[in-house]
Structure formats: C-alpha cells, structure tokens
Amino acid sequence: MRAIPYGRQHIDEKDIDAVVSTLKADFLTQGPKVKEFEDKFAEYVGAKYAVAVNNATSGLHIAVSALGLKPGERVITTPITFAASANCVRFVGGEVWFADIDPDTYLLSLESTKKLIESKPKGFFKGIIPVDFAGLPVNLEKFRELANAHNLWVIEDACHAPGGYFIDSKGDKHMCGNANYANIGVFSFHPVKHIACGEGGMVTTNSEALYKKLASLRTHGITKDNMSENHGGWFYEMQELGYNYRLTDIQSALGITQLAKNNKGVARRNEIANTYKKAFKGKIKYQDLPKGAYNAHHLFVIEVEDRKGLYDFLRTQHIYAQIHYIPVHKLPYYKDIGYESAALRNSETYYSKCISLPMYPSLTDEEQGFVIEKVLSFVNG
C-alpha cells in the first residue's frame, strides 16, 4: 500500500487546463482571474466583499491593520491553532493573550474568553480571533454578543473551514467567513487546505470601508481614486504604507476550479469523518460536533493516551498522521516574551493526547479501513 499522508491536495485535469489557459493569456497577475475568484468566493460564503491575498498570514496581517490595531493593544486568541493566528497581532506590535479551549470541541472557549475579558478593566482588549479549528465553525453569534458587550472586533480565522457553517439562534445558516457576526473572515489556500492555490488566501467582509482599506493595504497603499482630467493616465497616489500581498492570476485560475469542487470535497470529508466516528465510538475520543454545526473537516482529530506511541507506530505502517498543534504559548518565541502556561489546562491536556488522522477527499475506503484497523489494533494493545 502507498504512503498515506494526513492531508493532500486534489488536482484534476480541469485545474491543470485552467492554469495552462492563464499561462497562455495576457495577464499572469492582476488580470481578470483575481476579480473572478474574489467574486465567486464572496458569493460562495455569502459575504459582500472578498480580497484575494498571497496567503492567509498576509490576510490576517491586513485584517488586524484594517481594524486599526496599534502597538501595545491586546487581542485574545486560542493556543490551539497555527502560529499565524497569533503572529498577526505581533506584526503590528500588539500583545497576544490566550484563553483556553473547550475540551470537547477544541475551539476557543467562550466562557474562558469571557472570564479573561472580565478579569481586566474595560477597554483592556481590542479584539478576539477565534479559529474554526479542524473545520468546525465557531458559534460567532455568541462571540459577537460578548464582543459587543466589551466593544471588541472579531476576526474569524476560517482557514480550516471553507464550506463549514453553523445555524444561529434564529435558525439562519451562516457559512464560515460570511462576516455577518465577525468583522472579517480569513481563509488559506495552502495545499493541505480544502482549496489549493500553491499559496494563497482570501479576506472577506461586509463593510465597504474595511474592504477599501484591505484592498489598499494589499497593494502598497496605492490608489487611482483621486484621478481627475488634469492627470495623465499614469497617475496614482500612495496614500498609506501597504504591502505587496497580491495573489496572481495563475493562482486565482486554480482557485476558481478548486472552489467549484469544494462542496463535493467537504461532503466526502464528512463521509470519511462519519466512518471514523462509527469505528471509534465508545473507544476513542474525537472532536465533538455541536448541534447546528457542519464541520468542513480540514482535519480529523482523535485523543489517545500514548500519542507518541501511536504516531510512531503509524509511521511504521506508512501512515503519516500529524499533530495539530503545539500550543502557540509553548513555542519558544511566545515563551520568551512571557506567555508561559497559566490557565490553559484544557489546551495542554488536549495537546498531550491529540493526533490528526488522514483526511482528504481522495482517501480511498480501503486506505481508510487500513488506518482504522491500525489505530484500533494499537489502542486495544
């Protein structure tokens, strides 16, 4: 049997044809494909605006910048995420504070976040960055209520969750990144994610002002908005310090064909998740699915006592499971600037046991059966 990774991209002939056509067209970057991808993505998640960027890390950076985060200002996020969810705050000189996760959903705990906010004076924090970890949507209606009570903004790190959704208390469906409850949503198009662009990302919002700011920061802070008849066609202004965080037409062409397959991919991911759950029920703990949530399943995470043992054993079987994540406050950079453990017990317990099993649409039933058999044989001793 071939090696089984924990995740992989799915590229077909349609994807290849789309990229080749773009290579033969007039624009390699900043042509029609970028706008087409933005429009289709915005429509897919149900947001008014989408800004394509070269990766989600850049997207998170311009998101906190557009929301006006200043040096020394404080933002809360989860330790169980990729470092970029926290690093964006550091990029602008802000302070990262971590609240704990829920032990069953592995998402940023609303109660822990509330407790942290209420333990400090009013105005102490500026924002919250919850993460749709593993593809499970955060209930943003509840985070919005908390944020409103304390005048905070919310950025949804939806990198794991294009195609996921939750149902709010009115019965309305909210696709991850629709920016109805969050101010901004951010997605990643790294190859292990649902939509592979090589590198890539998307930032979504419903605010015209934020959209304009995000678009400006993506491209050097340059605009042609003030062009008049007295100016030549070359006229432009650099109005603020921005970046080159642009996605290319080549990547966008791939993003468009990948997006078209996303619902099918997410459905297959859920099928795989249900097969794992059926096999592990009552024997192995896995991520809980709260009522009204549809998990986009970037990952399928289980908890086992001898995590290192299982990880090493699976490798001998050519099954390349992965660990998501080393808690961010445990990474040397964050340790060195004083973020040692404190009250993050659930995150640390979770980290001691978590392991992500293979999860991607092209995983075959036979391969998954082999993974299940090996996991159960290890756990049952």
Ligand X SMILES: Cc1ncc(COP(=O)(O)O)c(C=O)c1O
Residues binding ligand X (CB under 6 A): 55-57, 81-82, 84-85, 131, 157, 159-160, 188, 190, 201
The nearest distance, CB 378 to ligand X, in angstroms, is 27
Compute the least distance from the CB of residue 202 to ligand X, in Å.
10
Question: Beta strands of 206-359 (E only): which ranges?
Answer: 222-223, 237-238, 285-286, 293-294, 300-303, 319-320, 354-357
Query: Does the annotation count 115 as an active-site position?
Result: no
Give which of 307, 360, 261 is closest to 5, Cα–Cα. Answer: 360
Smaller CB distance to ligand X: residue 127 or 375? 127
Comparing CA positions, the residue from 350, 371, 348, 349 lying closest to residue 359 is: 371
Question: CA-CA distance, 372 to 366, in Å (whole number)?
Answer: 10
Task: Return the structure tokens found at 70.
Answer: 């200043």
| Nearest distance, CB of residue 203 and ligand X, angstroms | 11
Q: Nearer to ligand X by C-beta: 52 or 84?
A: 84
CA 212 to centroid of chain Cα atoms:
22
Phi-psi domain of 106 (left: phi exceeds 0; alpha: psi -120 through 50; beta: other): left
In 3D, which of 56, 307, 312 has the Cα closest to residue 192?
56
Shortest separation between residue 83's beta carbon and ligand X, angstroms: 8
Whether the CB-CB separation of 252 and 197 falls below 8 Å is answered with: yes
C-beta of 54: minimal distance to ligand X in Å?
8
Cβ proximity to ligand X, 34 vs 56, nearer residue:
56
Given a contact cutoff of 8 angstroms between Cβ atoms, the answer to whether 320 and 309 are in contact is no
Q: Which is nearer to ligand X, 133 or 280 (CB)?
A: 133
d(CA 85, CA 75): 11
Q: Tell me how far, at minimum, the Cβ of 190 lies from ligand X, in Å.
A: 4
Query: How far does the chain reach from its first CA to its final CA, in angstroms?
Result: 23
In contact, 147 and 153? CB cutoff 8 Å:
yes
Nearer to ligand X, 60 or 272 (CB): 60
Q: Which is nearer to ligand X, 82 or 280 (CB)?
A: 82
Task: Report how far residue 29's alpha carbon sits from residue 221's, in angstroms, rounded to the nearest whole number.
Answer: 18
From the candidates 193, 213, 281, 330, give the one annotated as an active-site residue: 193
**Which residues are known to be catalytic?**
193
